[in-house]
């Protein structure tokens, strides 16, 4: 085997892929993640156009997805932002703030947070302005915990010290080294807010405490079918909800895998850790 390449003329491969492309490849190489992506794209295409397709039970269920999916996006984005801010604050504000913020996240993660939605809807009204923060709460503690762990691991990595030794000012280290390297793991963490928000809203809708009746949603459709005792009417929304949740999870797992294998250490075996 060739062991002299380090001092020899040509590197191993002249046109290797960039890290982003490699991560994308790892994502679509996972069968479940690529199926999940296809499902999500199909849903995103079909749900807005469902009223044009016809008026069967499937089309109506698809149309009901408008409310659910848009709310999942709204609540998910809010939850992701809150969770990321929470985790970043815990990392940036020093050990004391870190202990209390992460202790809080740890405790909240052990509570049935999805119940916040029906409670908020019942006591403060069912507008998206009330429900979206509640949905964000169901996801934020988990994202905060993952964010803090990822950032801590990232801050210990040697290339940051190397950038410092290269005289790169702190602001630029943040912009050019920290953020690009944190982006994928944090995106994978933030993604988990989407399925959580979708599940939480559907749960509340099933209890009759989700989005207002004027907004169609899968949870409300499920509730109506259960009230009518009509399994046939229930099938389509239940199937679509299960499919979306599964696809969101599958893509989330794929993202995590894509982010994680990017940092496998490459040492020539047996080196001191």
- Cβ neighbours of 53 (radius 10 Å): 12
Backbone conformation region of residue 208, classed left if phi is above 0, alpha if psi is from -120 to 50, else beta: left
- The answer to whether 52 contacts other proteins (rule: CB under 8 A) is no
User: Which part of the chain contacts other proteins (CB under 8 A), choosing from 51-59, 67-75, 83-91, 244-252?
Assistant: 244-252
Pick one of 81, 168, 187, 212: the residue that binds other proteins (CB under 8 A): 168
Cβ 92 to other proteins shortest distance, Å? 18
Between CA 141 and CA 87 the distance in angstroms is 9
User: Taking CB under 8 A as the rule, does residue 43 contact other proteins?
Assistant: no
Residue ranges in 183-242 that form contacts with other proteins under rule CB under 8 A: 195, 199, 202-203, 206-209, 222-223, 225-226, 228-231, 233-234, 238, 241-242
231/112 Cα distance (integer angstroms): 28
How large is the C-alpha radius of gyration of the chain? 23
For residue 113, the minimal CB distance to other proteins (Å) is: 8
Angstrom distance (rounded) from CA 251 to CA 190: 12
**Residue among 128 and 208 whose Cβ is closer to other proteins:** 208
Contact set for other proteins, span 80-99 (CB under 8 A): 95
Query: Rounded to the nearest whole angstrom, what is the least distance from the CB of residue 135 to other proteins in the complex?
Result: 14
Least distance in Å: CB of 242 to other proteins? Answer: 4
Least separation in angstroms between CB 155 and other proteins:
13
Spatial distance between the Cα atoms of 114 and 135, rounded to a whole number of angstroms: 7
What is the DSSP annotation of 19-50? HHHHHHHHHHHSHHHHHHHHHHHHHHHHHHHH
**Number of other CB atoms surrounding residue 73 within 10 Å:** 16
Residue 176 in the binding site for other proteins (CB under 8 A)? yes
Which residue among 111, 153, 155, 174 contacts other proteins (CB under 8 A)?
A: 111
CB of 45 to other proteins, least distance (A): 20
What is the x/- site pattern for other proteins, positions 138-167, by CB under 8 A?
-------------------xxx-xxxxxxx
Alpha carbons within 13 angstroms on the beta-carbon side of residue 110 total 5
Which of 76, 86, 196 is closest to 148 using CA atoms?
Answer: 86
Q: Given the rule CB under 8 A, which of 48-56, 68-76, 102-110, 144-152 is the region that contacts other proteins?
A: 102-110
Under DSSP, the state recorded for 127 is S
């Amino acid at each position: 085997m060739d062991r002299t390449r380090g001092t020899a003329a040509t590197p191993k491969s002249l046109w290797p892929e960039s890290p982003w492309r490699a991560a994308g490849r790892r994502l679509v190489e996972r069968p479940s993640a690529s199926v999940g992506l296809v499902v999500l794209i199909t849903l995103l295409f079909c749900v807005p156009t469902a009223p044009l397709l016809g008026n069967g039970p499937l089309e109506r269920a698809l149309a009901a997805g408008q409310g659910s999916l848009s709310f999942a996006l709204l609540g998910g984005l809010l939850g992701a932002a809150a969770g990321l801010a929470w985790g970043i604050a815990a990392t940036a504000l020093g050990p004391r703030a870190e202990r209390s913020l992460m202790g809080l996240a740890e405790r909240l993660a052990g509570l049935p947070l999805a119940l916040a939605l029906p409670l908020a809807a019942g006591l403060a009204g069912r507008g998206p302005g009330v429900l979206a923060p509640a949905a964000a709460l169901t996801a934020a503690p988990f994202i905060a915990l993952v964010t803090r762990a990822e950032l801590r691991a990232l801050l210990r990595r040697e290339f940051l010290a190397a950038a410092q030794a290269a005289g790169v000012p702190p602001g630029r280290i943040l912009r050019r080294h920290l953020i690009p390297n944190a982006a994928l793991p944090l995106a994978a963490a933030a993604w988990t807010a989407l399925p959580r928000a979708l599940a939480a809203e559907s749960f509340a809708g099933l209890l009759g405490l989700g989005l207002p009746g004027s907004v169609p949603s899968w949870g409300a459709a499920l509730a109506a079918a259960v009230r009518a005792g009509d399994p046939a009417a229930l099938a389509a929304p239940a199937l679509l909800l299960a499919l979306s949740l599964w696809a969101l999870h599958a893509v989330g797992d794929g993202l995590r895998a894509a982010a994680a294998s990017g940092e496998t250490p490459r040492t020539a075996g047996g080196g001191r850790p």
